Amino acid sequence: MGIDTVRLQALSQQYGILLGEEMLRQFSLYGEMLQQWNRKMNLTAIVDDEGILVKHFLDSLLLLNALKRRGMDLSMVKLIDVGTGAGFPGVPFRIAQPGTELTLLDGLNKRITFLKELCSSLGIHCLAVHGRAEELGRKEQFREQYDIATARAVSDLRELSEYCLPFVKVGGYFAALKGYDVEEELKGASKAIGLLGGKTVAVEKYVLPDGSRRSIVCIQKISQTSPKYPRPSAKMAKTPLM
């Protein structure tokens, strides 16, 4: 049956996101490829058309809404999606904002293989990188090179900030897609965010059409990250920034 692109277009428009015919064609193909590849490798537990539309595509597109509410011009930005998995939220963001220079980072090589094939089929130029965020965040070609770093991950915001903020330029944003009730987690991460050069400027909250709920924590980079961060993941786990 495939993704209902008319419904995706209408739902996106409710958040101020206008999707043209070519973008809708790309989303339709994305849904097909996700389902096809998922039969041979575990990319996502969500494989039904409606689930992909709402929980993957629309959920990812909320990132645009959250950043636009900060007054950010998204027409030409450099974005890195850390721990991107099957490409969320980075690829939907890039489809809706064709001027985006996109880097997709994941620690599992088979996902990178999928992402390269996906972007090629969609006609999207992206840099798909197999690696660990705490290692790439120290490399000159990646460190403080991005207007936006984003992650849709289960890791605690304290660790996510240490992984992601080193990639962000001063003045840019780390936007974390988190669960709805994020206040306690954010409170626990506040010292880490400050130590890493960030400042939380907003928490945007959304309820999706299927009733699932999302918070997007917008953290602005206000000063450079100290060279001692990010630390190795084992050290992050043993001595979290409290």
Measured in whole angstroms, the distance separating CA 189 from the mean position of its chain's CA atoms is 19
Across 51-72, average pLDDT: 96
Name the average pLDDT for the chain. 96
Instruction: Tell me what pLDDT residue 242 has.
Output: 80
Domains and CATH numbers, the chain: 5-238 (3.40.50.150)
Whether 113 and 87 have beta carbons less than 8 Å apart is answered as: no
DSSP for 58-96 reads: IHHHHHHHHHHTTT---SS-EEEEET-TTTTTHHHHHHH
Q: To which residue do tokens 């409606």 refer? A: 50
Across 42-70, average pLDDT: 95
**End-to-end CA gap in the chain:** 49
pLDDT tens digits, residue range 6-54? Answer: 999 999 999 999 999 999 999 999 999 999 999 999 999 999 999 999 9
Instruction: Tell me what pLDDT residue 156 has.
Output: 93
Cα-Cα-Cα-Cα torsion 135, 139, 144, 147, nearest 10 degrees, comes to -80
DSSP for 177-242 reads: EE-S--HHHHHHHHHHHHHTTEEEEEEEEEE-TTS-EEEEEEEEE-SPPPTT-SPPHHHHHHS---
